[in-house]
Structure 1
Amino acid sequence: MKNTFILLLLIFSSFLGRSQQQEDYTIAILGDKLIPENEQILLQLKEEIKSVVGQSANIVFKDSFILLNDLNLEKAKSNYENMVQSDDVDLILSFGSVNNFVIGKNKIFSKPVILFGVINDDFITFPEGQISSNITNLTYILTPQSYKRDLLQFKEIYPFKKIGIIVDDYLTEIYPVKNTLNDIFKTIEAEYVLIPIKQANDVDGKLESLDAVYLSGGLFFNKDEQISLVNKINQKNLPSFTSINEHLSDYGVLLTSQPVNNLEQFFRRIALNIESAVNGDNLAQLPIYMDLQAKLSLNIETAFQINFPLKYSFLLRTNIVGNANQISFQKQYTLPEVFHQVLNQNLNLKAEQKNIELANQEVKLSKSEYLPDLSTSLSGTHLDPELAKVSNGSNPEYSTSGNITFEQLIFSEQASANIKIQKELKEATKETYNAKEKDAILNAGVAFYNALIAKANFLINDENLRVTRQNYEIAQQKYDAGQTGKSDVLRWKSELAMATQNIVNSYTQLNQSFNELNQILNNPIGLKIDVLNSDFKKPGDKDDFKFFNMLDDPFLRERFTHLIEEKAIENAHELKSLQHNISASKRSAMLQQRSKFLPTIGLQGQYNHTFSRDGEGATYPTGITGAPDGYYNVGVQVSLPIFQKNQRNINRQKSFIQRDQLNIQKDETIVSIKRNVNDIILSIVSQFSNIELSKVSTEAAKESLELMQISYSNGAIGITSLIDSQQAYFQAQQQQANADYNFQLSILQLERIMSYFFSLHSDEENQVFVNQVKERIVQMN
């Protein structure tokens, strides 16, 4: 045992001695320009290099050997030469287009140099098949960034006709950007406009004639400048594409193509190349290309904002970012706003209002029977001269005359009854309209909540798609590392396809629900709207609805139900309409009875005047006095029908039958109201518990999913358990959303039965209503 201990001590001392003998290896870093957001990235790179190379050398980074050229060619050249000449520098790590352009012109490298940065494939040409630099002490790390590749991918997604290509101004001075783009667009059916920029405002006035933008500039802008640049593009409703920075997707660029986990892979590749240099390997033979799997990101917020036509076929390979809840809209509605617009704009209600106007005219028409009837007529006559001659002046050959007739109904049981009947029918029409109005409010509320449910389902499916893609990437990484089989990747790919289809379906249903709401609100169908649940009604949340808590008490529930039945019957417009029709039927029956004994009395008068008499027979014979040119007559007419083919009795019996029919309908309506009240109250009672239980279920399912994801990443569970956990979580979310909105719908339906919508009344009015309900419940035995 003692010998073993001495042996271990000697081995440890040997390693310790080697560690202490490690030589310093100083690395100079050349960059184009540093912005605050990149300081943390540089720190991560240093840590990765030290971690990988620490066994071979003591890596040293000195602030004096971190040099920036600020995009100046001469300064870049000076920085490089100073580092080459410095005896304290062992390796040069170069980043950026300017540095790499300057350093790449050299033919001989006295120190190891690693070139890495934004060097576009379109600007670099190597002989076919060359995979290393073949230059002593020089290696590249080239990523698959290419204008051509990006533009072809963008063209596949969105068929632009004229695209603006935004590049940093300094690039156009050192690389053949214009010639390169000319060659690329020989194979792309579109025009392009090159837009070099030094600041975000340089794009002002240059975006008007475009239908898309490819953003390859602004890499060294700070965050605020990049956001400003992206906002200028989005304000023009232009689809945008970039591959220069993943953060631009978060800033609002529509489409972003970026390598998956690029930083970790880049850092590891740089560190391994430095390790090769430290160990004396020939950099000339290191591979220069770095193949990375790119991912396409779609900013759903921007897609909504610019009304981008989503091509569903590419969603399967697209990572959705941004807040899907930020749906762009021209008008956003709350429930009270929906109600008020329905009352003012709904076409069905406008048509129904015409029935009230017609009923008013019928009342006026019935009353007009007691208005005087005054008419006049003029006539001109030519009579056969022979006949006129022998008429002794009573019928001249030519004559013109006129008369005025006056008629006035003094009393008529038929007219009086009709006035009363038409008034009742008018009131019945008003109540029918009131019922239609309440139905329209209910239908609008249902459409509003359907839109909210569709929106919730869309957001749930959006989250499901994101989680599924995350799990798919975890499975892909585990497969690449040899920790799992191909079957996991294929299963998650299948789940990803289904999740994508679900979000497409839910987005379609969301738009359909908006179309339905637009129709009810009499909006243009294409109007972009959104719904906002600012008046969420939960048990106990609002004073107006606290009285529903009484339903939890079995002793108060019965009283509450009876009271709501009374309120519903008292306020029911359908019953009021039936009652007015019953009254009209009663008056009709009375008419048939009283018309047997009550006469119709009318006054009639007429005045006649002859204006001219000419021709044969125009004068009376001598000694005969003719009729005066003007004369009148007045008379009173009284009529009493004795027997009218038994029609009065038949019509009276019809009135009795109609009244019985209306009373039956009234009784059936009361029974229906009571049943609906009881059904809805039972539904509300069951949903009280559903809301809280679904909330608990969702929280538990979410926590379970997070734990399952960690376990799956660590290989502790299989794919089936994770899929089951994910499905359970999203089903719980949907159940919670349905529980919340179904509760609100039930409340809305109960309000309709009571003919009292809380959202259409002030808080004070609602409080009075609630207090009355509570007082009556207390008074009930």
Structure 2
Amino acid sequence: MKRRLALVLGLIGLAVILASVVQAKTVRIGVVYDGDSPQFPVIRDLFFHEIDSMTRGAHTVVFPAHAQASGEWNMRQINRALDRLLASAGVDMVLVLGGASAHEVCRRRNFSKPVFAAYVVDARLQGLPVEAGTSGVPNLNYISIFSDFNRAIQTFREITPFSRLALVADGFLREAIPQLNTIARRMSNEFTMDVTVVPVTESGEQALADIPADSDAVLLTLIPRLPDAEFRKLVAGINQRRLPSFSLRGRCDVEKGVLVSTTPEDTFLHLARSVAINVQETLDGTNPGDLSTAFAVGEKLAINMATARAIGIYPNWGVLAEADLLDDASAVDQRRLNIVMAMQEALAANLDLAAANRTVEAGAAQVEEARSPLLPQVGVSTQASIIDDDRAQASFGAQPERLWTGSLQATQLVYSDKAWAGYTIERELQTSREQGRDAVRLDIVQAAASAYLNVLRARSIERIQKENLKLTRENLERARIRVDIGAGGPEEVYRWESQIADSRRNVLTAQSIALDTISAMNNILNRPLREMFAPEEADYRDPMSILPDHRLTDYMNNPMEIRILRDFLVAEGLAASPELKQIEAAMAAQERSITLAKREFWVPTVSLFGDVTERFSEGGEGSAPPSIGSLQLSGKNDTDWTAGVQASLPLYTGGGRRAALSRSREELSKLRYDRDNIANRIEARILNAVHLIRASYPGIRLSKDAADAAGRNLTLVTDSYVRGIKSIIDLIDAQNQALVANQQAANAVYDFLIDLMAVQRSTGSFFLFAPEKELDAWMDRLNQYVSDEEKMARQG
């Protein structure tokens, strides 16, 4: 029995191995392309890479070098290459790259092996098989691309009006697919304009010369044979003639100087991926004739602003709302700013803080002024006088008729409680002024940080609105594909066009809000309100990276941690609050006033004084020593001096001293009430800030989860809409839900960051942005506080 079981299991294992070997057989894919060109190797390798990536693991796909055939830009050679590969036993599948090659192979109806053709421009116009969004031809799958010329013309005309268009196209493709020539006639009729087709081979100068002189716009289609250097010559010549240009190839041409394109830069990548998916499904057993031929090109407007300035064109608001602007001078010239720079610049330039600094400087002078009576007081004076002669004669030499004297006076307080109190009080008041200035500084830092975060928030919302507009564009393309394959009606296209108008308006509103936040930031920085700047945080998808340290968030994961953090922040805030220090300094000044009022009843003012007077000159009557008869009296010399000590104590001031004492006591009592009130307000402010982060921090994850879920739902509904399972209403609802969820996710992060700034302001220190040593010391205190709380909880 055991032997039988082992034999059965062995046979099953062998069958699985053999099945996997059979399933993982080597698949040889041949390639036919229009002809060699500078662009082709890059495009070919892109298709090879995507097919290999899609099939790797399940199948081994190779692209034999001998099975890669160039059509050499000749229809007969292209058909020969197709015949050879379709008949070759060494080729399992055929990949056709190139507009002419795809057109030729799709005209056939019998295929012995799977064929995948890219670059079909307009299947119906070209007379190719179309059946409910597939080719309907066994073993034939093609991808229809670049079919909406009308939308390109509409966008082009929205940027700049024109009536005479030069359509630059590859001459070979025009001859190979004559049906495409009707596109020019159709555009001419639908848009009431003259369209001239300009064939191009390998000379940009020749193409430029063939553009009619009266043309007022140029439309560049795919021109694969034109070398890059020649293409740049062509574009430079178009711009020199001040002609607006539009490229169907995409952003890469806009980077080379073309004015505008709506083709996303990853179009060829998605095209290659679509072909790779179809190859994989064919290998899994699906007939290529039953695979979708549809391809949503999408639309991503790109404008070269340097070209626009050179040719004198500037797009309107609606166009700018959804465009990527290359070489935008306004963006290049913008100064860079980050949150730390914003804080520092606000402290250096804010007018409120400048005024507070002047108050502190004036207070420092007041302190010196109050100190000055305690130091020696020295003065000099001079006097020249003349009196009448009889009075001088009667003075017996005490008052000469003409006298010039000079004096030097000096005084020094030995003790004056009033002077010392004035100095002490002024020092406390200066401390109060400095703490008031520190409070203003904290307010400015918070205002600058919050304003900067609001700029980032507005930019994030603007980005989300732009992404929603881009998604709406993609859904419009999906609706057009549904109309083409008969799965939807034209009303869906009109509905999406209406959605695009609303999305554009929302983008413009978001941009206006962003400009308002920039003006508010500049106002705090005392810069011109209209001056633009570029935040250094270019990736708005991770706003939390703006924090230099994330250790604090480790204490926000549950209610217990938040409670401990709250208590610690209250203790820190009450100890560091400049508002409390300000009023405590005022209380100290008032207490000294009370001491002064008490001492004035019994403490005298004692001072030393001295005076030296020198007679420089005297004359006239009374200038000589007086005489009695023949006796000449001796006179005094020319130097007089006086020195002494003085003490004074008021005995009665009409009750003024007692009233001053009473007033000082009442003012101190008021300050004590104010201090308690301020302490309560500070604690309430800290609690309020902590309660905000208690909600906003976990709200980040919840909002992100909601946005992720809305995104997954949108993906499912979009897929169902494409397959005809869901309606346009379902898709619009899913898209709006994703839009709102993404906005809420962005707001959640910035709400938390702004709340965190409020937490730091309420504690009197922006510790997260402090130097590393200060931040580490702050975190050490927090860790110690948490450890002590946990120890007490275990003991209790």
Could you state the TM-score of these two structures normalised by the residue count of structure 2? 0.65
Residue 424 of structure 2 contacts residue 592 of structure 2 at CA under 8 Å; is this kept in 1?
Answer: yes
Residue 614 of structure 2 contacts residue 640 of structure 2 at CA under 8 Å; is this kept in 1?
Answer: yes
Identity of aligned residues (%): 22
Deviation at 1:691, TM superposition (A): 1.7
Pair 1:725–1:523, CA change in 2 (3 A) = same
In structure 1, the partner of 2:442 is 438
Q: Distance in 1 between matches of 2:264 and 2:413?
A: 95
Residue 248 of structure 1 contacts residue 256 of structure 1 at CA under 8 Å; is this kept in 2?
Answer: no
Pair 1:542–1:222, CA change in 2 (3 A) = farther
Q: Distance in 2 between matches of 1:239 and 1:121?
A: 10
Q: 2:595 aligns with which of 590, 593, 598?
A: 590
Q: Residues 337-376 of structure 1: matches in 2 within 5 Å?
A: 337-376=341-380
CA RMSD, Structure 1 to Structure 2 (Å): 5.1
In structure 2, the partner of 1:500 is 504
Deviations 1:374-424 (A, max 9, x none): 111222234445655665554444332221111222211101111211121
Pair 1:778–1:222, CA change in 2 (3 A) = farther
Q: 2:768 aligns with which of 758, 768, 774?
A: 758
In structure 2, the partner of 1:52 is 106
Query: For structure 1, which runs of at least 5 residues remain unmatched after alignment?
Result: 1-26, 62-119, 125-132, 154-166, 189-212, 268-292
Deviations 1:436-456 (A, max 9, x none): 222222222211211121111
Q: Distance in 1 between matches of 2:298 and 2:558?
A: 57
Give 3-state SS (helix, strand or coil) of 1:381's partner: strand
Which of 670-679 and 360-369 deviates more? Answer: 670-679
The residue type paired with residue 558 of structure 2 is: D
Please state if 1:544 is matched with 2:551: yes
The residue type paired with residue 655 of structure 1 is: S
Please state if 1:722 is matched with 2:776: no
Q: Distance in 2 between matches of 1:765 and 1:316?
A: 50
Q: Distance in 2 between matches of 1:473 and 1:313?
A: 23
Q: 1:703 aligns with which of 671, 696, 712?
A: 712
In structure 1, the partner of 2:676 is 667
Give 3-state SS (helix, strand or coil) of 2:383's partner: strand
Pair 1:494–1:329, CA change in 2 (3 A) = same
In structure 1, the partner of 2:750 is 741
Give 3-state SS (helix, strand or coil) of 2:726's partner: coil
Deviation at 1:701, TM superposition (A): 0.9
Q: Distance in 2 between matches of 1:739 and 1:432?
A: 33
Q: Distance in 2 between matches of 1:652 and 1:254?
A: 85
Q: Residues 86-101 of structure 1: matches in 2 within 5 Å?
A: none
Deviations 1:134-160 (A, max 9, x none): x9x988727659xx9xxxx9xxxxxxx
Q: Residues 104-115 of structure 1: matches in 2 within 5 Å?
A: none
Q: Distance in 2 between matches of 1:411 and 1:776?
A: 51
Give 3-state SS (helix, strand or coil) of 2:609's partner: strand
How many residues of Structure 1 are paired with residues of Structure 2 in the alignment? Answer: 607
Pair 1:707–1:424, CA change in 2 (3 A) = same
Residue 458 of structure 2 contacts residue 517 of structure 2 at CA under 8 Å; is this kept in 1?
Answer: yes
In structure 2, the partner of 1:256 is 260
The residue type paired with residue 768 of structure 2 is: F
Pair 1:641–1:378, CA change in 2 (3 A) = same
Q: Residues 521-560 of structure 1: matches in 2 within 5 Å?
A: 521-523=525-527, 525=529, 526-532=531-537, 537=544, 544-549=551-556, 552-554=558-560, 557-560=562-565
Which of 420-429 and 383-392 deviates more? Answer: 383-392
Pair 1:138–1:689, CA change in 2 (3 A) = closer
Query: For structure 2, which runs of at least 5 residues remain unmatched after alignment?
Result: 1-31, 48-94, 116-163, 169-173, 194-199, 272-296
In structure 2, the partner of 1:468 is 472
Deviations 1:1-41 (A, max 9, x none): xxxxxxxxxxxxxxxxxxxxxxxxxx996888765346579
Residue 167 of structure 2 contacts residue 221 of structure 2 at CA under 8 Å; is this kept in 1?
Answer: no
Pair 1:341–1:419, CA change in 2 (3 A) = same
Deviations 1:628-647 (A, max 9, x none): 32211122221111222322
Give 3-state SS (helix, strand or coil) of 1:141's partner: helix
Deviations 1:464-511 (A, max 9, x none): 111122223333454566654444333322221221121112122223
Which of 524-533 and 499-508 deviates more? Answer: 524-533
In structure 1, the partner of 2:433 is 429
Q: Distance in 1 between matches of 2:264 and 2:430?
A: 73
Q: Distance in 2 between matches of 1:239 and 1:644?
A: 95
Deviations 1:29-66 (A, max 9, x none): 6888765346579714356324531139999x9xxxxx
The residue type paired with residue 446 of structure 1 is: S
In structure 2, the partner of 1:682 is 691
In structure 1, the partner of 2:574 is 569
Give 3-state SS (helix, strand or coil) of 1:450's partner: helix
Residue 563 of structure 1 contacts residue 773 of structure 1 at CA under 8 Å; is this kept in 2?
Answer: yes
The residue type paired with residue 555 of structure 2 is: F
Give 3-state SS (helix, strand or coil) of 2:732's partner: helix
Deviations 1:557-585 (A, max 9, x none): 54443333222212222112111111111
Give 3-state SS (helix, strand or coil) of 2:653's partner: coil
Pair 1:374–1:395, CA change in 2 (3 A) = same
Residue 263 of structure 2 contacts residue 298 of structure 2 at CA under 8 Å; is this kept in 1?
Answer: yes
Residue 400 of structure 1 contacts residue 611 of structure 1 at CA under 8 Å; is this kept in 2?
Answer: yes
Q: Distance in 1 between matches of 2:665 and 2:257?
A: 75
Please state if 1:731 is matched with 2:740: yes
Could you state the TM-score of these two structures normalised by the residue count of structure 1? 0.66
Q: Distance in 2 between matches of 1:304 and 1:582?
A: 67
Deviation at 1:649, TM superposition (A): 1.9
Pair 1:214–1:376, CA change in 2 (3 A) = farther
